[in-house]
C-alpha cells in the first residue's frame, strides 16, 4: 500500500498512525453494525416476505376497489347516455 506522508498540524502521518486509524475505524464500524443490526438473516428474510405479502394484498385490494369504482362509473355513464338518447328520440318522433 502506498500513500503520501504529509505534514499535519500535530506532526507527520506515518504508516503506523494510518494503520491504527484504519483499524480503529474498522472496529468501530463493525461494533456499530452489530449493535444496530435489527435481527438475524432468517428473521429479516421472513419479515421481508411478510411485508411483500401484505403489500401484495393491499395492492390487490386497491386494484379491486378501483376497478369496481370504474365499473360503477361506466354503468352510470352508459345509463345516462341511454337516457339522453331516449329523450332525443322522443323529441324527434
- Does residue 8 surpass a pLDDT of 60? no
Grid cell 463493525 is found at 30
pLDDT grade, residue 3 (50/70/90)?
Answer: low
pTM, 2 dp: 0.47
Give long-range contacts, CB 8 A cutoff, 24+ apart: 83-86.
Answer: none
Query: Residue 3, by phi and psi: left (phi above 0), alpha (psi -120 to 50) or beta?
Result: beta
Locate the domains of the chain by residue range.
Answer: 1-37, 44-93
pLDDT grade, residue 9 (50/70/90)?
Answer: low
- Does residue 15 surpass a pLDDT of 60? yes
Residue 32: what pLDDT? Answer: 77
Residue 6: what pLDDT? Answer: 55
Amino acid at each position: 500500500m502506498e500513500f503520501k506522508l504529509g505534514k499535519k498540524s500535530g506532526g507527520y502521518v506515518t504508516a503506523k498512525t494510518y494503520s491504527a486509524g484504519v483499524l480503529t475505524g474498522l472496529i468501530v464500524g463493525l461494533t456499530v453494525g452489530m449493535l444496530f443490526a435489527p435481527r438475524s438473516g432468517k428473521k429479516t428474510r421472513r419479515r421481508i416476505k411478510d411485508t411483500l405479502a401484505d403489500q401484495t394484498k393491499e395492492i390487490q385490494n386497491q386494484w379491486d376497489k378501483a376497478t369496481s369504482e370504474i365499473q360503477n362509473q361506466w354503468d352510470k355513464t352508459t345509463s345516462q347516455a341511454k337516457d339522453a338518447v331516449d329523450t332525443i328520440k322522443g323529441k324527434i318522433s
